[in-house]
Chain A
């Protein structure tokens, strides 16, 4: 295949083989019911890999049609990735009905805003736009994961090892992709061989991490949780907030007595 070094090709096949193993494992253990987003993401990744191999063989690496196929199929992969990340959110917070109700709305608004901004800010020059949009989308992934886990930390919700590993995988991959794409954006063609290497190697590591994650016992990720009567929250939340507000006013007066003197 013209334009691809042998070792890059070897890594590409290795990554594809690993993903096929993960997809087979998910399907054979019926784990796609637990991880529907992740399963769809791996499956689409495998399909994209097959399409890319076919395109490389037929048109060569630098052909415009190959690049169109590559970046075009990337849109579908990104949609599946969004689903996979939504799955992580659900796995982490889904058990806590009240908090989950608040979190998914917040994350959806944040996600849509970030994605919208990434696309708009990417501009209209094809070569630059795709890369810029990709960097923006990877940063959005990072930000969503950070907000999700800050949310969980605020409510002292401990993630299971499987959820941690899944999230960590996406975080590592997105971080590497942002930096890698930024360098490519700057140096363009001269960086392509190294860009291929630095996008494939972290991905292989992450697929390994995800494989480890989906092999963890399912019961730990989906234990049922009993809830308190609705009244408890509505009775206590305003009470706590009122006291906190009073306390803060008192503290403010204490810190700056002059400002509050009538």
Chain B
């Protein structure tokens, strides 16, 4: 009995089942809810702030000095070690970025309405970011990426963090003001409608 005719449809079914199981059992993070948002807000964005040290770690002048003072072997060792540190930094930066994205997703999940254009754009941009970050990591591994490039990435992430924090703070203040107003109207027994 020849079962070759089953190959394309069998492969398609297996792919779909695999995708389903991946999406069903792949979520390891805590589910997003309002208390999750508070936790996300409270968490500090620490990795982006280490950029000056990281920038210095791959400064060409620094390597030139090391090569002149300690020899080529020392410079090579230090360069390898520092590249490893920068690579770790890039991973941590991606973690910061993911954290911000989680915050954005949590807001979408808890919002009474979302805009399809914003959601799809974020999905597309996230995929692009992940892909490019991996490529930069690869270039760094091969010794092709320079630190000003990496610092550019971190600047954007930290800007985003600051802007989001400010907006959230502002919204929190507005919500508190609204609650205070509502309770004072309640106390005066006034009807707002």
- Chain A residues within 8 Å of B122, by CB: 237, 240-241, 244
* CB-based contact A225/B26 at 8 Å: no
State the Cβ distance, A81 to closest chain B Cβ, in Å.
17
A189 within 8 A of B: no
For residue A101, which residues in chain B have a CB less than 8 angstroms away from its CB? 113-114
Interface residues, chain B, with chain A CB atoms under 8 Å away: 3, 5-6, 9-10, 12-13, 16-17, 19-20, 22-24, 26-27, 29, 31-34, 37, 100-102, 104-105, 107-116, 118-119, 121-123, 125-126, 128-129, 132-133, 135-136, 139, 145, 149, 152-153, 156-157, 159-160, 163-164, 167-168, 171, 174-175
Main secondary structure of the interface of A (DSSP, over half): helix
Taking a contact as CB atoms under 8 Å apart, the answer to whether A255 and B135 are in contact is yes
A98: B residues at CB distance < 8 A: 108-114
Q: Is B12 a contact of A254 with CB atoms below 8 Å?
A: no
Q: Which residue of A lies closest to B105 (CB)?
A: A155
Q: State the Cβ distance, A114 to closest chain B Cβ, in Å.
A: 12
Number of A-B contacts (CB under 8 A): 187
- Contact across chains for A179 and B171 when beta carbons are under 8 A apart: no
The 10 tightest CB contacts between A and B, nearest first, are: A233-B111, A244-B125, A98-B114, A251-B132, A149-B23, A243-B160, A98-B111, A153-B23, A237-B118, A247-B156
Identify A179's interface contact among B13, B100, B133, CB under 8 A. Answer: B13
B24/A159 in contact, CB under 8 A: yes
Chain A residue nearest in CB terms to B145: A254
A236 with B9: in contact, given A102-B114, A156-B27, A255-B135 (CB under 8 Å)? no
- What's the Cα separation between A226 and B126 when bound, in Å? 27
Q: How far is the CB of B5 from chain A (nearest CB, A)?
A: 6
Cα distance, A220 to B52, chains bound together (Å):
49
Query: From DSSP, what is the main secondary structure of chain B's interface residues?
Result: helix
Residues in chain A near residue B13, CB distance under 8 A = 139, 142, 175, 178-179
In the bound complex, residues from chain B placing their C-beta under 8 Å from that of A143 are: 16
Q: How far is it, in angstroms, between the C-alpha of A96 and the C-alpha of B9 when the chains are bound?
A: 35
Interfacial chain A residues near B129, Cβ < 8 Å: 244, 247-248, 251
Of A157, A183, A241, the most chain B CB neighbours within 10 A belong to A241
Q: A146-B20, A183-B6 are in contact. Are A99 and B29 (CB under 8 A)?
A: no
Across the interface, which residues of B come within 8 angstroms of A142, CB to CB? 13, 16-17, 20
With contacts A98-B111, A157-B32, A182-B9 taken as known, whether A247 is within 8 angstroms of B153 at the C-beta atoms is: yes
Bound: A101/B12 CA distance, A: 29
Q: Which residue of A lies closest to B97 (CB)?
A: A247
Q: State the CA gap A237–B101 with chains docked (Å).
A: 10
Set B6, B23, B104: member contacting A150, Cβ < 8 A: B23
Chain A residue at minimal CB-CB distance from B115? A237
State the Cβ distance, A148 to closest chain B Cβ, in Å: 9
Q: How far is the CB of A129 from chain B (nearest CB, A)?
A: 17
CB-based contact B104/A240 at 8 Å: yes
Residues of chain A with a CB closer than 8 A to B153's CB: 247, 250-251, 254
Query: Given contacts A241-B118, A241-B125, is CB(A156)–CB(B29) below 8 Å?
Result: yes
Query: How far is it, in angstroms, between the C-alpha of A66 and the C-alpha of B58 when the chains are bound?
Result: 79
Give A217 to B9 CA distance when docked, in angstroms. 37
Given A227-B112, A251-B136, A243 and B107 touching (CB < 8 A)? no
Do B23 and A152 touch (CB < 8 A)?
yes
Q: Besides the contacts A233-B107, A240-B101, A254-B136, what 18 more A-B pairs have beta carbons closer than 8 Å?
A: A98-B108, A98-B114, A143-B16, A156-B32, A156-B109, A158-B31, A226-B34, A227-B110, A233-B111, A233-B114, A237-B107, A237-B115, A238-B118, A239-B160, A245-B125, A251-B136, A251-B153, A254-B153
